[in-house]
Amino acid sequence: MLKIILPTMMLMPLTWASKPNMIWINTTAYSLLISLISLTYLNQLSDNSQNFSMLFFTDSLSAPLLALTTWLLPLTLMASQFHLSKETLTRKKLYITMLILLQLFLIMTFSAMELILFYILFEATLMPTLVIITRWGNQTERLNAGLYFLFYTLVGSLPLLIALLHTQNNLGSLNFLMMQYWTQPLPNSWSSAFLWLACMMAFMVKMPLYGLHLWLPKAHVEAPIAGSMVLAAVLLKLGGYGMMRITTLLGPLTSSMAYPFMMLSLWGMIMTSSICLRQTDLKSLIAYSSVSHMALVIVAVLIQTPWSYMGATALMIAHGLTSSMLFCLANSNYERIHSRTMILARGLQTLLPLMAAWWLLASLTNLALPPTINLIGELFVVVATFSWSNTTIALTGTNIIITALYSLYMLITTQRGKYTDHVKSIKPSFTRENALMALHLLPLLLLSLNPKMILGPIY
């Protein structure tokens, strides 16, 4: 694991010491190399974990997320080049340093072997993200967005700290390897209910759960492109990953305590998908679509069946790539017309046909078209919830339909029809942008050929 962590840490001196015209090239190239190293972890040979030290390990659950995280850093760097081009050199280097710091914390979070280490790094990821959102966002609402983001997550995760410390007192160690053997079933009492709530609320806020999702549209919309990409693709998955890890401690209580959150997620899926149909702001639409997809993951993690865990893992990876790609596409629109309103940039297919192809593919993966991994994830989760209770198919089926509706609505509004008159003078697509979309889509399509590596430890 040090072979990933140390190079990522050294990317920071690299940015500060590079010549001004080489900062982007150096960081993008070296971060791509680091991501190639992390791809080796995808070769999980058994259902045990690969333990590197007492602190770090990779599992078939954390390896795909790790690969996603490291893959995303070069992509975020490529996406940020344009909007930072007018900043001073120091600010550019600061921005890149924030991204690298965030990447470092994320890598360590996904490979942490101990829950307290995981918690510390989980909180640490908030700081670079907050700086990125509040300093480099575009509108004045970014301050409010940063506030919501920070305090929702902090308030949710403070009980988690207390719960983890209490559990460590009881069990002696929170190391993942030993947790599997030492956990006892939680007794049926009020204090276990509070323990369950304390453990889960942090991740519920992060995912986000429907009732606690207010920070997400604000943070995603106000963040600059790299912030949106990392938020949507990786930080949300921290919640899912944390939930899957911590439910090992929470015994048989989950089957009864999970009901309110299941209801919130199942109903919230439909609510947020429906809100997507009424959005005028493009980034806001993609943000609400993230809430909807993550609600499926919450449902999957709470019912705790083999198929649902496989679906949750696949859905997390698939959604990470798809959502990040959609934000990049929205950003390519924003850089040209400086407005996020969807109806202002219509009919782009006539003007930018290659970008229209990427829009089409991103929308198709967002609506879970077979044989992409999005479909595999969603299908596994839907089938598992059907076996949990037959009536859920009404809700999940409606959600799939509405997802298709708003994905196609977004596609048709931005691509089809007659272009708006003032859009004729936009810049053509840069090679950098096309490369960005291709690099997002390539793992997505390749994983459709071999999805077993993202199906998690249950496969």
Q: In terms of CB distance, is 95 or 288 closer to other proteins?
A: 288
Question: Phi, psi (5° rounding) for residue 114?
Answer: -120, 140
Which residue do the tokens 């596609």 mark?
411
The minimum distance between CB 240 and other proteins, in angstroms, equals 20
- Residue 307 Cα to chain centre, angstroms: 21
Cis peptide before 306 (omega within 30 of 0): no
The minimum distance between CB 12 and other proteins, in angstroms, equals 35
Q: In terms of CB distance, is 140 or 184 closer to other proteins?
A: 140
Question: Phi, psi (5° rounding) for residue 208?
Answer: -100, 155
The minimum distance between CB 267 and other proteins, in angstroms, equals 5
Residues contacting residue 36 through CB under 8 Å, at least 6 positions apart? none
Q: Phi-psi region for residue 449, left (φ > 0), alpha (ψ -120 to 50) or beta?
A: alpha
Q: In terms of CB distance, is 357 or 383 closer to other proteins?
A: 383
The minimum distance between CB 132 and other proteins, in angstroms, equals 20
Residue 38's nearest CA partner among 67, 60, 7 is 67
Question: Phi, psi (5° rounding) for residue 50?
Answer: -90, 110
Cβ count near 71 (within 10 Å)? 25
Residue 401's nearest CA partner among 448, 368, 362, 377 is 368
The minimum distance between CB 218 and other proteins, in angstroms, equals 9
- Residue 70 Cα to chain centre, angstroms: 13
Question: Phi, psi (5° rounding) for residue 347?
Answer: 60, 35
Q: In terms of CB distance, is 205 or 321 closer to other proteins?
A: 205
Cα–Cα distance, 398 to 356 (Å, whole number): 28
Amino acid at 85: S
The minimum distance between CB 335 and other proteins, in angstroms, equals 11
The minimum distance between CB 389 and other proteins, in angstroms, equals 5
Q: Phi-psi region for residue 190, left (φ > 0), alpha (ψ -120 to 50) or beta?
A: alpha
Residues that bind other proteins (CB under 8 A): 141, 259-260, 262-264, 266-267, 280-281, 284, 305-307, 336-339, 341, 344, 383-384, 387-392, 395, 420-423, 425
CA atoms within 13 A on the CB side of 84: 25
The minimum distance between CB 279 and other proteins, in angstroms, equals 8
- By DSSP bridging, strand 50-51 and strand 57-58 are antiparallel
Q: In terms of CB distance, is 91 or 278 closer to other proteins?
A: 278
The minimum distance between CB 139 and other proteins, in angstroms, equals 8
Q: In terms of CB distance, is 327 or 334 closer to other proteins?
A: 334
Q: In terms of CB distance, is 108 or 303 closer to other proteins?
A: 303
Q: In terms of CB distance, is 355 or 441 closer to other proteins?
A: 355
Cα–Cα distance, 432 to 434 (Å, whole number): 6
Q: In terms of CB distance, is 28 or 292 closer to other proteins?
A: 292
